């Protein structure tokens, strides 16, 4: 059987795909390359903007450091606070002047400053000026505890690095400088104030500009669902000063990161890729919509065209060949097609007609041969005991037992009359049973008290038809092999013929059972019959049974069966599963012939009586 992948349909489709795929691949490559260029350009632009913003904020942080250095070196009020011998009035005036200076400088230096403070150790309190007085106490407390916990335990010399501090829910950048003599001054900057340069970035409705620390913690409002995932944040924090495409939740994002020089801050921008590529709607649609749609349309039209001009005629031709192979010789192909397929269809129709004619002739010849073989098998079943019957008649006549001679002669005449009806294909079951009775009566006259029989056939089956001599050879086999092969212990040899309803399908089959109490079948014979070896042989040892099996196979095929077995108590058993409504493949003679012969037989019986 032709494999599907070897069909013309598949090969044509594969050829089309081999042509169209490189074209599509080239178009897709061009689109992807254009998208890559756009992505790189957008990333470079955003990266430049992010770098400029980060460096501006770093300059501001550095300016705050310089401010603290100027306080340390030039401010007289800081000198008063550092001098333990200063009077209380000078100390108080110095703090007041510092307050006014902090207020002015917080507005003049940079708007990013949140708080300026001074911490004299001798007072153990923080002098702090802040723009937001709502959390003044908390700021003082956190600053004092942080200085006591941190600065006194490490080197507090000049450095441009800023520390991170969390006060409540707000993140701050903290810079503290040791002024000397236990006096510390410092600046607090809200982290969210460092975002002012990023707020103008166009990142779309689903994008976000934010600040993160080096560990990946978001320091400003994330406002973006993927940022809630720790793995996504870790990927961003590992970028350093680079950019990359990150996937999260089925979406792709362009993430850019720039680290601050003077603090533990990362300036981050996260933009959806589709927003980055929004300026390429045509290329996107070409890549994701139009190219697949165009390919689907072209491929569909191409397949429809091939289906009409090639596939359908080929399929019809193959279907017609299959029907021819199944014996449906009446199939014909339409010829209203292209010239090539019209020629093929015409040739097919001519071939089918010739095959149909040839098959009919061959079938008729087979029937003639089968009928001849069937008649030959029937002829083979003609009497085997003709000479024995003549000897019995002679002995009875010698004994002057004329009544037995008359009886035997009548049975023998009826027996041979039935055999001479071998030209008939079927007979009624009652005729077959009558023939069996004649046969058994002849043997009863021969063996006297050593043999007896019982026949029990339901009357509803008596007019059923079967092949002649379908049951009698099994009775004959019982006498020849069962009676003669049994141990002669003085017991009577009994043959029983009876009908039984079929348990599986009583409307279609009847079971005829022939059994005896003789020697039974040899095991080798049962094995050969069951395996089919016996039927394929020549039947030299059991010609009657071999003929029956051959004729049964020819007449009924696989409908019905003949089973051979040995009875548990001893003896042979044959069960014939006979179809009741079977139409034989062998021609049946007209039943009127049977009726005439039946009437002739009855007339002969009457004359004899």
Q: Which domains does the chain have, with CATH numbers?
A: 4-54+198-279 (3.30.450), 75-194 (3.30.450), 283-370 (no CATH), 381-584+592-608 (3.30.565.10)
User: pLDDT at residue 416 above 70?
Assistant: yes
Q: Give the model's confidence band at 205: pLDDT under 50 very low, under 70 low, under 90 confident, else very high.
A: confident
Q: Which of 23-27, 66-70, 146-150 has the lowest mean pLDDT?
A: 23-27
Pairing of strands 170-180, 183-190: antiparallel
pLDDT exceeds 80 at position 109: no
Can you give the pTM of this predicted structure?
0.45
Neighbours of 109 (CB within 10 A): 16
pLDDT digits (tens, 9 = 90+) for 469-493: 788 888 888 888 888 777 777 788 9
So what's the pLDDT on residue 413?
Answer: 85
CA distances from 468 to 418, 433, 555, 558 (A): 9, 10, 11, 19
**Residues 7, 582: Cα–Cα separation, whole Å:** 44
More confident residue, 299 or 93: 93
pLDDT at 266 > cutoff 70: yes
Query: Could you give the CA distance from residue 152 to residue 162 in angstroms, rounded to a whole number?
Result: 17
CA angle 47, 49, 54 (to 5 degrees): 90
**Residue 272, CB half-sphere, CA atoms under 13 Å: how many?**
13
Helix and strand tally (H, E) in the chain?
A: 19, 16
- Inform me whether the pLDDT recorded for 590 exceeds 70: no
Q: Which H/E stretch holds residue 533?
A: helix 533-536
Lowest mean pLDDT among 199-208, 379-388, 395-404, 416-425: 379-388
For residues 583 and 586, give the distance between their C-alpha atoms in angstroms, rounded to a whole number: 9
Read off φ and ψ for residue 587, nearest 5 degrees.
-60, 135
Of all residues in the chain, the percent with pLDDT exceeding 90 is 6
Q: What is the pLDDT of residues 57-66, one digit of tens each?
A: 889 888 888 8
Q: If you write DSSP's letter for every residue of 175-225 in order, what string do you get?
A: EEEEEETTEEEEEEEEGGGGGTTTTT----TT-EEEEE-TTS-B-S----G
Greater confidence, 539 or 66? 66
* Residue 583, H or E segment: none
CB under 8 A, 24+ apart: contacts of 295-299: 295/20, 295/24, 298/20, 299/16, 299/20
> How would DSSP label each residue in 384-438?
S-HHHHHHHHHHHHHTT-HHHHHHHHHHHHHHHHHHTTTT-S-EEHHHHHHHHHH
Closest CA to 521 of 466, 573, 456, 451: 573
Q: Which residues of 28-53 are buried (b: 16+ CB within 10 A; e: fewer)?
A: eeebeebbeebbeebbeebbebbeeb
Mean pLDDT confidence for 12-38: 73
**Quick one: CA torsion of 399, 401, 404, 409, rounded to 10 degrees?**
70
């Amino acid at each position: 059987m032709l494999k599907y992948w070897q069909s013309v349909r598949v090969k044509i489709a594969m050829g089309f795909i081999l042509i169209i795929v490189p074209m599509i691949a080239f178009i897709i490559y061009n689109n992807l390359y254009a998208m890559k260029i756009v992505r790189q350009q957008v990333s470079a632009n955003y990266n430049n903007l992010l770098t400029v913003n980060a460096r501006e904020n770093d300059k501001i942080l550095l300016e705050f450091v310089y401010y603290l250095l100027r306080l340390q070196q030039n401010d007289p009020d800081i000198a008063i606070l550092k001098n333990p011998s200063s009077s209380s009035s000078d100390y108080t005036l110095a703090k007041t002047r510092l307050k006014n200076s902090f207020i002015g400088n917080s507005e003049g230096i940079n708007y990013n400053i949140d708080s300026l403070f001074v911490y004299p150790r001798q007072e153990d309190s923080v002098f702090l000026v802040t723009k937001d007085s709502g959390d003044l106490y908390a700021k003082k407390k956190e600053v004092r505890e942080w200085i006591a916990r941190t600065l006194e335990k490490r080197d507090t010399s000049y450095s441009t690095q800023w520390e991170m501090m969390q006060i409540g829910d707000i993140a701050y950048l903290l810079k503290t400088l040791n002024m000397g003599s236990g006096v510390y001054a410092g600046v607090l900057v809200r982290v969210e104030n460092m975002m002012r340069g990023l707020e103008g970035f166009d990142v779309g409705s689903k994008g976000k500009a934010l600040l993160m620390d080096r560990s990946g913690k978001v320091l400003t409002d994330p406002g973006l669902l993927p940022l809630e995932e720790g793995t996504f944040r870790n990927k961003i924090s590992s970028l350093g000063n680079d950019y990359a495409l990150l996937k999260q939740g089925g979406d792709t994002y362009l993430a850019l990161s720039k680290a601050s020089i003077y603090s533990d801050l990362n300036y981050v921008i996260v933009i959806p890729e589709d927003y980055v590529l929004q300026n390429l709607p045509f290329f996107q649609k070409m890549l994701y919509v139009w190219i697949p749609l165009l390919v689907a349309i072209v491929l569909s039209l191409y397949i429809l065209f091939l289906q009409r001009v090639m596939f359908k005629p080929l399929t019809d031709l193959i279907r017609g060949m299959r029907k021819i192979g199944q014996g449906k010789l009446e199939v014909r192909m339409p010829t209203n097609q292209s010239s090539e397929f019209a020629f093929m269809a015409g040739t097919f129709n001519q071939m089918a007609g010739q095959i149909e004619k040839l098959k009919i002739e061959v079938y008729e010849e087979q029937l003639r041969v089968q009928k001849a073989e069937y008649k030959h098998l029937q002829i083979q079943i003609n009497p085997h005991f003709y000479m024995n019957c003549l000897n019995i008649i002679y002995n009875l006549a010698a004994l002057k037992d004329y009544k037995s001679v008359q009886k035997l002669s009548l049975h023998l005449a009826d027996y041979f009359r039935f055999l001479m009806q071998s030209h008939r294909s079927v007979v009624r079951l009652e005729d077959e049973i009558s023939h069996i009775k004649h046969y058994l009566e002849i043997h009863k006259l021969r063996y006297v008290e050593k043999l007896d029989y019982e026949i029990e056939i339901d009357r509803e089956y008596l007019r059923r038809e079967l092949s002649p001599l379908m049951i009698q050879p099994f009775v004959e086999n019982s006498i020849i092999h069962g009676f003669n092969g049994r141990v002669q212990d003085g017991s009577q040899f009994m043959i029983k013929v009876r009908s039984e309803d079929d348990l599986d399908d009583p409307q279609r089959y009847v079971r005829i059972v022939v059994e005896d109490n003789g020697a039974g079948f040899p095991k080798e014979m049962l094995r050969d019959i069951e395996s089919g070896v016996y039927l394929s042989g020549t039947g030299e040892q059991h010609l009657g049974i071999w003929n029956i099996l051959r004729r049964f196979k020819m007449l009924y095929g696989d409908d019905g069966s003949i089973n051979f077995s040995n009875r548990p108590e001893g003896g042979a058993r044959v069960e014939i599963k006979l179809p009741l409504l079977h139409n034989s493949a062998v021609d049946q003679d007209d039943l009127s012939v049977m009726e005439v012969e039946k009437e002739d037989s009855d007339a002969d019986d009457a004359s004899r009586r």
